[in-house]
Structure 1
Amino acid sequence: MSLTREQVADFQTYGYVIAEDVFTDADLAPVIAELEREIDRRARALHAEGKIASLHEDEPFERRYALLHRQCPDIGRRFDIMFLLGSAMFDFLRNDKLLDVVESLLGRELSCNPIQHIRAKMPWTGDDEQPAGYENVPWHQDAAVTSKDSEASEILTFWMPLVDATAETGCMEVMPEVFKLGYLEHQAEGGTTIVPKLLPGVKPVTAECRKGGIVIMNKYTPHRGTTNRSNIVRWSLDLRYHKTGAPSGRSHQPSFVVRSRANPDSVLKDDEAWRKMWREALDRPAQPIHRV
């Protein structure tokens, strides 16, 4: 499903667009099942170590992880795409429905950017706002986690909830049209956030998005997470794509071609090769990933 002309125009005007109903439940089911298997594997290992008392085996995907995490936060250690390297996730990174949307904005020569994450925002019962350490990111631009050599690159964010992302479950807020100002200086204090005095006085939009939809953002669009006041985990995928040949903003991490009309043979189809690239990258000395 490609974006409509109206959606493309909205993206170009406001710096973001929400595309609903791109995926069916069946499209997302393999990724969710893969995550469920990993959660179960970790839970059983921690249970054997005496760190988890109850496995909560009868709880659904939306609930189980939170109940396990409450018993032992270690279950979430290195729970991200580049560490899990699952086959279903690799397949989804190359999903045709997703790439049709990406192509609507970036053209026919597409690479998967190495900035890619699984987000599990836990339910929060405190009276205050959910802290940044609970996947509740403060106001920032995604350009803040790319190198300066990629300033001219179009690196677009495709954020996909695996459950309905609503005001209650902790969806994002975005600032429309602010991307036109370009990069705003960020600070490390508070969790890589725009310097407060530089934050524009623009009324944010609540970017609710149902499961199956995508929130698409320009790399200069300020956005933040909001508190998850529900009783479920707000699961989401945070993926990025760029034009093949352009700097990725993370040259020390692997990008790979996912679609090419000019050179179809360049498309990576081997998930083991993808794993090898990531493992080699992670074995190298760590490099800074934030501009601050």
Structure 2
Amino acid sequence: MALTLEQIIDFQTNGYVIVEDVLTEDDLGPVIREIERLIDERARAYHADGRITELHEDEPFERRFALLHAQCPDMNRGFDIMQLLGREMFAFLTNQRLLDIAECLLGRELSCNPIQHLRSKMPWKGEGEQSAGMENVPWHQDAAVTSPDSEASEMITFWLPLVDATKETGCMEIIPGAFKGGYLKHQAEGGTTIVKELLPSDPPITAECRKGGIVIMNKYTPHRGTSNRSDIVRWSLDLRYHKTGAASGRDFHPSFVARSASRPESVLGDYEVWRTLWKEALAKPAQKAHRV
């Protein structure tokens, strides 16, 4: 699937574009089933040591994790792509539908960026917005969590909901056109966030996106998460791609060639190699690439 000329112009003009109906159940199903299996394995381990009393085995993907998390918040600890290292997730990173779209914006030499996340936004019934954190990120630019040496790197974010992302379930808000101002200074307090005085005053849009669609963003596009007011978990993937040869913004974590017209043999298709690269990287002392 390729982007239309109109979609490319929208992206170049606004710093984002929402593309619906990109991915099918055949694309997303294996990833979701793998996540369900990993949830079940963790739940059974926690049940065995007494941290969980009810497994909620009959609950669907959209609800089970929240019920388990309510019993034991550790369910969500380290439950991310680079810790789980799932075989189906690795295969999905080079999904041809994703790469076809990335090629429309970056060209034919594509690398999968190591800054990638699986997010489970829990239902929130409190007053106001949920506090900032991995579940509800404040106003930021994705460039804020990259190293300065990647300033010139062309990098795009693919934000993919695994359930419908609506205003109720906690979709993103985006400030159109604000990417043209380049990088804005961020602060660490309150979660990595744009310094309040520098946040553009332009009105944000509500970036609703159905399962199977993608929100594509420029690395300088200001955006934030909003609270999930529904009764389900709002699952999503946050993936990035950059031009091969450019700095990834996090060189202490493994990026890899996902598509290459000039050197197809350089594409990484070996799951075990990818898994080993991540295990070796995470075994080293923690490093940070934040610009704050």
TM-score band (shorter)?
Answer: over 0.9
Counterpart in the other structure of 1:55: 55
- List aligned pairs for 1:1-292, cutoff 5 A: 1-133=1-133, 135-292=135-292
CA contact (8 A) 1:123 1:232 kept: yes
Q: Structure 2 CA distance, aligned partners of 1:227 and 1:182?
A: 27
Q: Structure 1 CA distance, aligned partners of 2:280 and 2:2?
A: 35
User: Counterpart amino acid of 2:59?
Assistant: E
| Percentage identity across paired residues of the two chains | 73
Q: Deviations over 1:106-165 (max 9, x none)?
A: 000000000000000000011221111361100000000000000000111000000000
Shift of 1:291: 1.2
Q: Structure 1 CA distance, aligned partners of 2:10 and 2:289?
A: 30
User: Counterpart amino acid of 2:147?
Assistant: S
CA contact (8 A) 2:62 2:232 kept: yes
CA contact (8 A) 1:122 1:134 kept: no
CA contact (8 A) 2:111 2:257 kept: yes
Q: Structure 1 CA distance, aligned partners of 2:126 and 2:289?
A: 31
Q: Deviations over 1:73-128 (max 9, x none)?
A: 11111100001111100000000011001101000000000000000000001122
Q: Deviations over 1:202-243 (max 9, x none)?
A: 100000000000000000000000110000000000000000
Tell me the C-alpha RMSD between the 2 structures: 0.7
**TM-score (norm. length: structure 1):** 0.99
Q: Structure 1 CA distance, aligned partners of 2:291 and 2:219?
A: 14
Q: Structure 1 CA distance, aligned partners of 2:70 and 2:90?
A: 29
Q: Structure 2 CA distance, aligned partners of 1:133 and 1:63?
A: 21
Q: Structure 2 CA distance, aligned partners of 1:69 and 1:4?
A: 41
Q: Secondary structure at the match of 2:92?
A: helix
Q: Structure 2 CA distance, aligned partners of 1:240 and 1:84?
A: 18
Q: Structure 1 CA distance, aligned partners of 2:25 and 2:124?
A: 26
Distance 1:3 1:145, change over 3 A: same
| Count of residues in Structure 1 that have an aligned counterpart in Structure 2 | 292
Q: Structure 2 CA distance, aligned partners of 1:25 and 1:208?
A: 19
CA contact (8 A) 2:160 2:214 kept: yes
Q: Structure 2 CA distance, aligned partners of 1:285 and 1:137?
A: 25
- Which deviates the most, 221-230 or 127-136? 127-136
Q: Structure 2 CA distance, aligned partners of 1:283 and 1:51?
A: 27
Q: Deviations over 1:161-193 (max 9, x none)?
A: 000000000000000000000000000011010
Q: Structure 1 CA distance, aligned partners of 2:22 and 2:214?
A: 7
User: Counterpart amino acid of 2:167?
Assistant: A
Q: Structure 2 CA distance, aligned partners of 1:290 and 1:153?
A: 16
Q: Structure 1 CA distance, aligned partners of 2:283 and 2:191?
A: 25
Q: Structure 2 CA distance, aligned partners of 1:41 and 1:96?
A: 30
Q: Structure 1 CA distance, aligned partners of 2:259 and 2:235?
A: 27
User: Counterpart amino acid of 2:159?
Assistant: W
Shift of 1:26: 2.0
Shift of 1:27: 1.1
Q: Structure 2 CA distance, aligned partners of 1:289 and 1:30?
A: 32
Q: Secondary structure at the match of 1:158?
A: strand
Q: Structure 2 CA distance, aligned partners of 1:228 and 1:26?
A: 27
Q: Structure 1 CA distance, aligned partners of 2:240 and 2:179?
A: 17
User: Counterpart amino acid of 2:284?
Assistant: R
Q: Structure 1 CA distance, aligned partners of 2:70 and 2:154?
A: 39
Q: Structure 2 CA distance, aligned partners of 1:228 and 1:213?
A: 19
